[in-house]
Chains A and B, each alone.
Chain A
Amino acid sequence: MADERDTAGFAEFATSRHGALYRYAYLLAGERGLAEDLLQEALVKTYVGWRRLRDPGNAEAYTRRVITTTAITWWRRKAWRAERPHDDVPDRPVDADDTTARVWLWNELRQLPPRQRAALVLRYYEDLTEVQTAEALGCSVGTVKSQVFDALKKLRARLGEDVVLIVERAGMAE
């Protein structure tokens, strides 16, 4: 078992980062119930490995990576794809501007394989660089580039080439 000091450190980490990690899991899973399951599983694994991690910075990166790899593993099980319910009603009202496009884009994002979705979320929600995204996904920078390229290509093919999906920010692609 973890000793009391370990448990207290983990509790502090989990309490402070729970919300951000849940939002990341939700963007990957696209559904609240699955996001809860993903986060629960990831936090259990982080707790088990807490003595190794120590630094909360490492712990957050580790937990995100577990969320990602677990999502990918679950995605391979057809049950996730077959049984996931529709759950695209946000808790609070969305702006009128571009509402239709955003609802549509959200649905299209949910259809992407989780590795592509993870690459997009890490790059364009977490604002990680390609190098950081590669570290988070445990793959090469080249793989990140191809995952992002493929994902954006699919989305553009559905939405139209004239729509600006993303504006690259300076220094984001080193």
Chain B
Amino acid sequence: MNELLRDTLAEHADSAEPPALDLDGIVAAGDRRISRRRAIAVLGGAVVTLAAIAGGVTVARSIDRRPAPATPAPFAERRATYAIGSQIHYGKDVISVAPYRVSAFVQTDAGFVFLDDENDIYVAGTAGVRRIAPGRGTRRLTADSHGSLVGWVEDYTDRSESVVYDVAADRELVRTSIGNKRGPLLDAVMGPQLVAIDGDTAYFGTLTGIYRWDLKAGTAKLVADTLPNGVRGVSSGQYLYQRPLSHATSGTSLAVGPAPSDSGGRTFPGRQGYLSPTADYLVAGPADNQRAQPAAAVLALYKVKTGAKLQLRHPDHSRLIFGQWLDDSTFSAVGIRAGRNAPVDLLTCSAINLTCQVSAAAFSTFTFDPTPPRDLPFAVPLGAPITQYFG
């Protein structure tokens, strides 16, 4: 049995007949990635330079966690809100962020945080518009249902960094690369993301799993070995996560429970979901990661405690795009009317009355920009643009 290892490897290698080479498919997929990268402009030269200046070293650190000074919270009220171009329509109020264009945004009590076309991060508040971070590959913002914290992920050549920022205090609370060190060749199928901020806790979806970060103590704990988006959100300590957690893409259903696991919690159909602030209600529906995210879909409303599906009525709109929870039982959504390039309405839906009222009629159309990154003309406070990837 000399050379048993070499013989075994050679034998199996010889037995493996390669499949036909799908050259057209490889080139087409590669061209799509090149187009997307050019459009998104991730990791430009400036970022590389900054990373080099920083010595490429990132140490997990918490920065000055003293509470923010007591100031009025001018945007504590959540209203049905959308953004088009340089305007954020906050209920009946219109906030201009010109000359910038809003590609994605979230609401905090201290102001709206938005990404512009360059993925720079800005705050629009009572004092006007100010930039709080340069674009470093950030494509998604995350905020709590109340409070002044916002989070995002920045990309560098050898790592990504999770950032939590206090808008009211105008300072970073956390900047860490925990779970997000990577080799220069790693091109993860799914990039890191800041999954949720829930009170004094932030949840980082990293390349090595989901970390729970205690904002007061500045400590982290790995809570799930899953994809960066394996946990979809956290509200009042309840996790909304994919089931099974180990699924290589995005799971086949959702679950809600006090800890992400493949055995506990209550299961719900769907792949995109949004927990109410008290985790009493869940809006969930199908998703199509290959086409548009977040997908316009037939969304269903559930009572989490019982798992009961509530018959929400919105007869004029077959599909919805979730907006945000306005309070513990009311959420906003974009209603898609039937027909190609049809107008869209902003809706306010009640989990108590089980009805949806039109808050802003025909405020835009469901028409994706034909040029990359192929976003819709409007944004809702989900923190990410609504993008069509394929087809």
Instruction: Answer yes or no: are A and B bound together in one complex.
Output: yes
Q: Are B12 and A106 in contact (CB under 8 A)?
A: yes
How many angstroms between the C-alpha atoms of A105 and B1 in the bound complex?
12
B35 proximal to A (CB < 8 A): yes
Q: Are B23 and A11 in contact (CB under 8 A)?
A: yes
How many angstroms between the C-alpha atoms of A93 and B183 in the bound complex?
40
B10 proximal to A (CB < 8 A): yes
Q: Residue among A18, A80, A102 with the most chain B CB within 10 A? A: A102
Q: Are B2 and A22 in contact (CB under 8 A)?
A: no
Binary flags per residue of B10-22, CB closer than 8 Å to A gives 1, else 0: 1111111111011
Find chain B residues with CB under 8 A from A121 CB: 9
Minimum CB–CB distance from B309 to chain A (whole Å) comes to: 29
Question: What is the interface size of chain B, counting residues whose CB is below 8 A from a CB of the partner?
Answer: 47
Which partner residue on chain B sits nearest A62 by CB separation? B185
Among residues 30 to 64 in chain A, which have CB atoms less than 8 Å away from a CB atom of chain B?
Answer: 32, 35-36, 40, 43-45, 47-48, 62
How many angstroms between the C-alpha atoms of A40 and B29 in the bound complex?
10
Find chain B residues with CB under 8 A from A35 CB: 16
Q: Are A105 and B4 in contact (CB under 8 A)?
A: yes
Given the contacts A1-B34, A32-B16, A66-B185, A40 and B2 also touching, CB distance less than 8 Å:
no
Q: How large is the interface on A (under 10, 10 to 19, 20 to 34, 35 or more residues)?
A: 35 or more
Find chain B residues with CB under 8 A from A76 CB: 208, 225
Cβ-neighbour of B26 out of A27, A47, A105 (below 8 A) = A47
Which partner residue on chain B sits nearest A88 by CB separation? B12
B33 proximal to A (CB < 8 A): yes
A65 proximal to B (CB < 8 A): yes
Q: Are B27 and A164 in contact (CB under 8 A)?
A: no
A145 proximal to B (CB < 8 A): no
How many angstroms between the C-alpha atoms of A105 and B188 in the bound complex?
31
How many angstroms between the C-alpha atoms of A40 and B25 in the bound complex?
9
How many angstroms between the C-alpha atoms of A41 and B151 in the bound complex?
31
Which partner residue on chain B sits nearest A82 by CB separation? B246
Binary flags per residue of A1-31, CB closer than 8 Å to B gives 1, else 0: 1100001001100110011001110110000
A86 proximal to B (CB < 8 A): no
Q: Are A14 and B23 in contact (CB under 8 A)?
A: yes
A98 proximal to B (CB < 8 A): yes
Minimum CB–CB distance from A63 to chain B (whole Å) comes to: 10
A173 proximal to B (CB < 8 A): no
Cβ-neighbour of A165 out of B5, B187, B188 (below 8 A) = B5
Minimum CB–CB distance from A171 to chain B (whole Å) comes to: 16
Given the contacts A23-B13, A125-B13, A36 and B185 also touching, CB distance less than 8 Å:
no
Find chain B residues with CB under 8 A from A138 CB: 183, 185
Q: Which residues of B contact A (CB under 8 A)?
A: 1-19, 21-23, 25-27, 29-31, 33-35, 37, 183, 185-188, 207-208, 225-227, 244-248
| Given A48-B34, A120-B5, 15 other A-B residues pairs in contact with their CB atoms under 8 A | A7-B27, A14-B26, A22-B19, A27-B9, A32-B16, A45-B30, A45-B185, A66-B185, A76-B225, A79-B244, A120-B9, A124-B5, A165-B4, A166-B6, A167-B3
Of the A-B pairs whose beta carbons lie under 8 Å apart in the complex, a sample of 16, sorted by A's number, is: A2-B34, A7-B27, A11-B23, A14-B26, A26-B12, A35-B16, A48-B30, A76-B208, A79-B246, A90-B11, A98-B7, A101-B1, A101-B4, A102-B4, A105-B5, A166-B3
8 nearest A-B pairs in the assembled complex, by CB-CB distance = A90-B15, A47-B30, A78-B246, A22-B18, A79-B248, A125-B9, A23-B13, A26-B16
